[in-house]
Amino acid sequence: MISVRRFRAPLAALLLLPLLAACGGTSAPEQAPAGPPAQGGSLVFGVNTEPLNLDPHASPQDVTGLFTRPVLDSLVALDDKGDVHPWLASSWEISDDQLTYTFKLRTGVKFSDGTPFDAAAVKTNLDHIVDPATKSQLAAAAFGPYEKSTVVDPQTIEVTFKEAYSPFLAALATAYFGIQSPKQLALGPEALAKKVVGTGPFVIDAYVPHQGITYRRNPDYDWAPPTAKHAGPARLERLEFKVIVEDAVRLGALTSGQIDAIASVPPVNVTQVEANPKLTIIRKQAPGGNYNYYPNNEKGVFADQKVRQAFRDGIDFATVVEKLYFGAFDPAFSAISPATAGYDKATETQWRYDPEGAARLLDEAGWSSKDAEGYRTKDGRRLTVKWPFLKALAREQRGTLAEQVQAEAKKAGFDVQFVDVTPADFTPKALAGDYDLIDFSWQRADGDALRNLFAISNIPRPDFFGQNLARWHDPEVDGWLTGALRTTDLTERAALYAKVQQKANADASIVPVYVFTYLLGASKNVQDVTFEPQAFPTFYDAWVSKA
Amino acid sequence: MSTPVVEVTDLHVSFPGVAAVRGVSLAVHPGECVAVVGESGSGKSVTARSLLGLTGEEATVTAGRLAVEGVDASRFGERQWRSIRGRTIGYVLQDALVSLDALRPVGKEIAETLKLHRAAPRHELPGRVIDLLTEVGVPEPAVRARQYPHELSGGLRQRALIASAIACGPRLLIADEPTTALDVTVQAQILRLLAERKRAGQALLLISHDLAVVAELADRILVMKDGVVVEDGPARQVLGAPEHAYTKSLLAAIPRPGSRTTVPGDVVIRAEGLVKTFKGRTAVDGVSFELRAGQTLGVVGESGSGKTTTARLVLGLLRPDRGSVEIDRRQTQVIYQDPLSSFDPRFSVRRVLDEALEVGGTPRPERRRRAVELLEQVGLDESVLDRRPLKLSGGQRQRVAIARALAPRPRVIVCDEPVSALDVSIQAQVLDLLTGLQAELGLAYLFISHHLGVVHHVSDHVLVLKDGRAVESGDVHQIFTAPADPYTRELLAAVPGGHYDQTDPSRRALPGREQHDRLVRPQVG
Amino acid sequence: MAFLALITLAALAPSLLTGGVTPDAADALAALQGPSADHLLGTDANGRDVFARIVYGAAPSLLAGLGATALAVVVGTALGLLAALGGRVVDEIVTRLIEIVLSLPTLLLALLVITVTGPGTVNVIFAIALYTAPGYARLVRAQTMVIRNAGFVEAAVSLGLGRGRIITRHVLPNAFEPLAVLATIEVGTALVAAASLSYLGLGPQPPAPEWGAMLSAGRDYFSVAWWIAVFPGVAITLTVLSVTVVGRRLQRRIA
Amino acid sequence: MIRRILTRLGTSVLVLWGAVTVSFTALHLTPGDVVDVLIGSSVVTPEVRAQIIADYGLGEPLAVQYATYLGRVLRGDLGQSYQLHEPVASAIGAQLGPSLQLAGVSLLVAVVVSTTLAILTARRRPWIRGLSSGLELVGVSIPTFWTAILLLTIFSFQLGWFPAVGNDGLAALVLPVIAVALPITTLLTQMMREGLELTLEQPFVLTARTRGMSDLGVRLRHALRHVLVPTVTLIGWLVGLTVGAMVAVEQIFSRQGVGQLTLTAVGGKDLPVVMGVVLLTAVVYVVVNIVVDLLYLLIDPRLRGAA
């Protein structure tokens, strides 16, 4: 994902499309028992970014999911392991041809504005997502080959697809498919951008752009999913997200006790926070595409597999990541993270830092001579890598990392040059393939993330921004990815995804860098903060002990 | 004898590096007017300020005795001095335009003195202000009180300033150059006002650079030079039989009618029916004159009479609306009142002269020699060549300006108030230099001045201007002895230090130059 | 003064001061070390020597300040002269143009420029110059108008000097003096502005050791490695301070 | 007088139009199709893409877009934000209050503090002036964002005197105001002190002293007002600078405000919002300048004659 810290632009969209899958994420929050959960109280959470639009049906930002999850419930819930559970839908059936999903809805559910929850409401929501007027920048695309939904009776709804689309249930579990009150939806996009109304455990109290959002408990809430730790109303009386963009300020607000928890503790400060007896770090590895470097497989120096591999093997990424992030992030070995369904552990031994091998590969590829500055050359041309780096949007000290990689690459003979870009002129470059290297991470809880990264149809073109920025054009891989879409057999899919991951490494079509891990800093009094599978925190179970 | 209002003996005031006043003693009794006369830097103002404790933080003041109304003031703190200022001693500075706060109505300034000393209840202040303005002879006092200094004429402003100084009925009024910036007729009015105060029993301490100004008013005169009183005595004695050479030189420097014998040459300037209007105000209205080679035409008038506009028309810096000027401008040069601003601040004397010589067509190799020659002609040493005008004295600067004007070998020089900014002794030297050069080089001068004495001294012919019109013109002696126009008569009557007697020039209050040898020679360097 | 000499030396021959340590010798193993004998001012997150980076950063940092000021002075002087001497219509047009630029807040203007041109030292120079130039233009215009009416110009006219000579010999040099003073003082302001743009991610690109960029990057490490941000900050402050002091002295000498 | 006011208004409109045109042109010169930037890396269906183009009139030629925009502005309609899903006017309106509050309080604090400092230090002993001007130079040479972080670290994180972030209450205003006011204060102090020192040498100051007025009285009652004209000019000019400083401060202190809005809008190519902010600041500039002109007349009676 090309992520955004300061310019919270749509460019920064985080795509998350979890699908039911076998193995889930890693560590759950490790907390010392703090007695029985307290009721009431309030919690203030400092976040590093904010949504431009609160309507998750329209917005592409991950932070919109974070902001609306307390308010919106989904039809189904996804657990840490990837299993799908009932939520607002009490049960469902999938037709044999996999084209029709029939949901039985829970009874006795009410939106916080008093509107009853029924099949008509669900239909309104689903149709709202695909309505072009919504200008959905994420959810509609994640809806795939959706055809229509039909109200069978007030408690039954039927959703029909044009072709088989197995990621549907996982998508339905996300906040982007959160069910909103039809009454609120009817108010139109401007009203939705500032306020959403759902059936969730919290109700929006006030939303002030650039400031944050406050929620109060929904006292009537009695339909928590089985994935939650308790039932009934939320434990917290009041929940507040404060937008604090500046890392140092957010951290300072936490260490000085002004707020209870913060998102995105800078890795450099992890040790410092952990050394503080009052504070703790809650980690959660993010699923989906790791933070990878994507060489342009199509043209330029990286069109040659040997050069790509020399770049990957000639730089000690594991050590660099270890040192720069003080162990907070793990080095990556595959295109997708270990927290993703379908991750292939075998990739971890598939390649390693091998400077001699890299040098040999460059010799073989014809970059055998060196110029005065030590860079490899071929036919008098220097081995130059052009890298449009969005400094303004770089998070997690990726700029520092890039500078380190630049220095390491020099040792291997690569002249890595950063190209000055703004968010505005980055896009045309990306669409036109005018780069040698591009970096981004891409969060999504399912192996299908590989399809985003590697499908031929996802190579960006002038009118389409796809995620295959490596421009890896491999029909065999495309075949495996499509195969995985058509089957719900997890083992079979895992085998297909393993093939993709291994081929990507063998081909060196990408360079895995690190596994993004959500680092939530919190006071030790904060208990039971949980994570959604796509690794953003939820606060339904949370409570604050009086220490 | 009554207790003096102020008395000081052996006063010494020094600033870091400068001993400004050394051993001055003076006393002012009620109803008495004491004048301190001296040129700039003589220490006269510092002396006056030390009587108010206002010499500033950096000054060191010592005195054998310093008493205000018989009370020892040598150990006064700021608070005690403040109770003296404005209440026991009033102070009037020169040029009310800058001595009154430009951003406040004059009425407020006058009331301020009353307020500071709680001399009148708040509700009575407006009435008292009007009374005071009436007392100093300001017409329509209620209107004037609400006006700002820039809206008043120079005379009214000065009266208002005096009103603010006498608001609390001080025993002593110190007037520091009270008339210096004023036109001669206004100056006469202010002097009359001060004379009235004195008759009313007010003690006066008059500070001036001009002996003529104090002549009528002062009972006692102190002449100061370089921080020391060189002469001290009753006015009649100091003016009539001065003992000290410096006093004599000051008296001698007062410009007197010259006995000129010049031979008129051909016409170098002929102006006919000049008219110039600025935004509806006619500055010059049908002025005609003629200037012949080797002669001087004096143009006199008060501020706003159109003198300078006439000069600018002659020089071609302005185009006349009507009328014509016949002149060879290549043969014409100018000398200004303020020589400093007429020099490019970055230029040394050498570059100033070099440029003028270049314009005059002197070839480069000869310029240095010519520059030294010119400096010698104006009585300066070649050592000034590499100095900047800023670092020269006022007299030296005007000499450099004259040298510059001479450089292109002109036949005519327009002199625009060339000595107004100078001390009297320097003024005399520069005038002598100008007349000497005229005789030597056969120059013609168009000599503009508000100072009648100066014009009388240097001119062959005079043109008297009032409101842009030439009210009178003709031979200098004719006009100064038998003026035909009432305005000319008024002007002459206003000249301080004695009246121009229409019939007998020898009956003047001040001795004429015939009785004194010139003591001052042009200085070198 | 001595500090200025040091900076100049650093800008011209950085290697003399660092004894061969280079500013971009990244060594992740030596990251975030405090000041020591090995690393006088410590190391940054990449293990680069902060002292070396400050020394090598002198050239690009000063370039931003000096370049922007120089560009602004040139453009501003040209516009100011044009307005003052070009007649009423030209004056009116230039004055309005200046007002339009001044009506946009400085930072927004910089943002606009950089959105159009992309980040980088040259563009930062351009952006800062764009919003400081109107100030110079105003000064030159006002100054020229005052000087045009000054006594010495009239004296030169009456002396018989030609218009061209008067402008080049008297008007221009005198108009330029206060400008030079303002410019010296503004070099510091430009430096600070460049640093602020770096903070917003619009400055020079890595790994250029520019002070503003270092200061801006260092704030993320402030609580664990204060030296990364503090020393470039001190460098900026001292430079601005000494440049301003020199400017003030110049001002006094002229006045 | 009326003629003068009319001319003034005329040129003001000209300035506004110029500001709009310059920024409109600049923004459209930016590389990248607006629709691409708006969609960014999101995956959208072609229908959505078409909808976006149609909704914002992005398919029209530039000249038409410009004319449409001008026409709408003339009718008082600033258009619809591309990103915020609300009219530009209401988006700016919501942020304007906190920004004006911060700017206003900062300017006020700056004026009060610098006036006090200038009065206390003008023509005083060299070491007092030296100390003051030294501090002023340091104040000028520290970037605002840096001041803000230092203030936070010391007064919020270490001492806990003030909250780190937010818009609530007076306490939350203290640190941001100091950060914004610091550079303004230092500039103003320098200028006012120089002005005061010149004024205190004027004869009318001596005159006032001869009436028995105290040194402080003269500084307050007489000299101060004379320094006001250049001060007011500088304040007019400083408004632009203040807005600039506020962008960083609003970001660091997570305050609501136009600065934040601008940053987001410029980055996301939300042209209507950027144009709205441009128009807003141009209006502020014009208004401030007119107020400054009026203040001149109020302060200095000598200028009234020229009117």
CA distance A177 to chain C (A): 35
Over range A366-392, report the average pLDDT.
Answer: 89
**Whole-number pLDDT of residue B36:** 93
Higher pLDDT, D46 or D221: D221
Find, among C67, C61, C138, C72, the residue nearest to C109 by Cα: C72
Domain that holds residue C243: 41-254
Q: Which helix (H) or strand (E) holds D277?
A: helix D271-299
Among chain A residues, CA nearest to C29: A323
Residues B358 and B381 in one domain: yes
Residues of C in contact with B355 (CB under 8 A): 156, 159, 161, 169
Q: Is residue C22 part of a domain?
A: no
**Whole-number pLDDT of residue C1:** 59
Q: Is residue C32 part of a domain?
A: no
Higher pLDDT, B502 or C208: C208
pLDDT digits (tens, 9 = 90+) for A395-439: 777 888 888 899 899 999 999 998 877 666 787 788 888 999 999
- B56/B64 Cα distance (integer angstroms): 20
Find where tokens 């009353």 sit.
B114
Evaluate if residue A127 carries a pLDDT over 90: yes
Q: Burial, B237: exposed, middle or buried (Cβ in 10 Å; 0-12, 13-18, 19+)?
A: middle
Question: Under DSSP, is residue D83 helix (H, G, I), strand (E, B) or coil?
Answer: coil
Domain that holds residue B144: 97-169
Of A514-518, B87-91, C24-28, D62-66, the poorest mean pLDDT is in C24-28
Evaluate if residue A301 carries a pLDDT over 90: yes
Find where tokens 């793990």 sit.
A330
Whether residue A418 and residue C200 make contact (CB cut-off 8 A), yes or no, is no
Residues B115 and B54 in one domain: no
Per the structure, the count of domains in chain B is: 4
CB A260 within 8 A of CB A544: yes
Whether residue D43 and residue A257 make contact (CB cut-off 8 A), yes or no, is no
| Measured distance between the N- and C-terminal CA atoms of chain D, rounded to whole angstroms | 6
Confidence tier at A5 by pLDDT (50, 70, 90): very low
Residues of C in contact with D146 (CB under 8 A): 195, 215, 219, 229, 233
DSSP secondary structure letters along A195-252? ---BSSSEEEEEEETTTEEEEEE-TT-----TTSS--SS-S-SEEEEEE---HHHHHH
CB B419 within 8 A of CB B254: no
Residues of D in contact with B98 (CB under 8 A): 202-204
Find, among A158, A172, A149, A154, the residue nearest to A108 by Cα: A154
**Whole-number pLDDT of residue C20:** 63
Find, among C186, C211, C188, the residue nearest to C198 by Cα: C211
- B88/B90 Cα distance (integer angstroms): 7
Residues B439 and B324 in one domain: yes
- A90/A108 Cα distance (integer angstroms): 12
Evaluate if residue B297 carries a pLDDT over 90: yes
Over range C179-192, report the average pLDDT.
Answer: 76
- C22/D104 Cα distance (integer angstroms): 47
Residues of A in contact with D251 (CB under 8 A): 6, 245-246
Q: Is residue B397 part of a domain?
A: yes
Residue type, B102: A
Confidence tier at B513 by pLDDT (50, 70, 90): very low
Whether the link from the prior residue into C207 is cis, omega within 30° of 0, is yes
CATH number of residue C67's parent domain: 1.10.3720.10
pLDDT digits (tens, 9 = 90+) for D136-186: 777 777 788 888 888 888 888 878 888 877 767 777 888 899 998 988 888
Confidence tier at A54 by pLDDT (50, 70, 90): very high
Evaluate if residue D40 carries a pLDDT over 90: no
Mean pLDDT for chain A overall: 86
Residues of D in contact with C133 (CB under 8 A): none
Structure tokens at A495: 């085998």
Q: Which helix (H) or strand (E) holds B272?
A: strand B267-278
Evaluate if residue B396 carries a pLDDT over 80: yes
* Mutate: best of C143, C147, C148, C152, partner B, most B CBs <10 A: C152
Evaluate if residue B498 carries a pLDDT over 80: no
Whether residue D286 and residue C103 make contact (CB cut-off 8 A), yes or no, is yes
**Whole-number pLDDT of residue D237:** 72
Among chain B residues, CA nearest to C150: B341
Evaluate if residue C177 carries a pLDDT over 70: yes
CB A89 within 8 A of CB A106: yes
Q: Is residue B524 part of a domain?
A: no
Over range C218-240, report the average pLDDT.
Answer: 80
Q: Is residue B515 part of a domain?
A: no
Count Cβ atoms below 10 Å from residue B279 Cβ, excluding itself. 5
pLDDT digits (tens, 9 = 90+) for C114-172: 766 666 777 788 888 887 888 888 888 888 888 887 888 888 888 888 888 888 888 88
Residues B110 and B155 in one domain: yes
- B368/B345 Cα distance (integer angstroms): 21
Helix, strand, coil percent content, chain A, rounded in steps of 5: 30, 25, 45
Residue after which a domain boundary falls, among B408, B429, B452: B408
Of B127-141, B475-489, C236-250, the poorest mean pLDDT is in C236-250
Residues B158 and B184 in one domain: no
Whether residue C244 and residue D140 make contact (CB cut-off 8 A), yes or no, is yes
Q: Is residue C3 part of a domain?
A: no
Residues B432 and B290 in one domain: yes
- A340/B73 Cα distance (integer angstroms): 96
CA angle, corner A185, sides to A181 and A191, nearest 5? 115
Per the structure, the count of domains in chain C is: 1
Whether residue B93 and residue D213 make contact (CB cut-off 8 A), yes or no, is no
Return the partners of chain C (3 or more C-beta pairs < 8 Å). A, B, D
Find, among A381, A364, A371, A348, the residue nearest to A309 by Cα: A364
Of A343-347, A373-377, B504-508, C65-69, the poorest mean pLDDT is in B504-508
Confidence tier at C254 by pLDDT (50, 70, 90): low
Whether residue B78 and residue D214 make contact (CB cut-off 8 A), yes or no, is yes
CB B390 within 8 A of CB B424: no
Closest in C100, C192, C240 to D19, CB measured: C100
CA distance C246 to chain B (A): 20
Structure tokens at B317: 């810096």
Closest in C102, C112, C212 to D23, CB measured: C112
pLDDT digits (tens, 9 = 90+) for D223-240: 888 888 778 877 777 777
Higher pLDDT, D132 or B141: B141
Query: What is the Cα gyration radius of chain C?
Result: 22
Residues B276 and B416 in one domain: yes
Helices C106-117 + D271-299 axis angle, to 10: 150
Q: Is residue C26 part of a domain?
A: no
Residues of C in contact with B332 (CB under 8 A): 158
**Whole-number pLDDT of residue B259:** 67
Q: Is residue C93 part of a domain?
A: yes
Mean pLDDT for chain B overall: 84
CATH number of residue B63's parent domain: 3.40.50.300
Evaluate if residue A363 carries a pLDDT over 90: yes
C233 CB within 8 Å of a chain A CB: no
Return the partners of chain A (3 or more C-beta pairs < 8 Å). C, D
Find, among A542, A532, A482, A449, the residue nearest to A73 by Cα: A532
Phi, psi at residue D17, to the nearest 5°?
-60, -45
What is the ipTM metric for this complex?
A: 0.74
Find where tokens 């453009």 sit.
C75
Alpha carbon B36 to its chain's center: 16
Evaluate if residue A513 carries a pLDDT over 60: yes
- The sheet that has B172-176: what strands, in order across it? B89-92, B172-176, B203-208, B33-37, B220-225, B228-234
Of A62-66, A230-234, B93-97, B167-171, the poorest mean pLDDT is in B93-97
| D73-to-D13, D64, D66, D68, D177 alpha-carbon distances in Å | 12, 14, 10, 9, 33
- C130/A211 Cα distance (integer angstroms): 33
**Whole-number pLDDT of residue D4:** 72
DSSP secondary structure letters along B130-182? HHHHHHTT-SSHHHHHTS-GGGS-HHHHHHHHHHHHHTT--SEEEEESTTTTS
Residues B447 and B392 in one domain: no
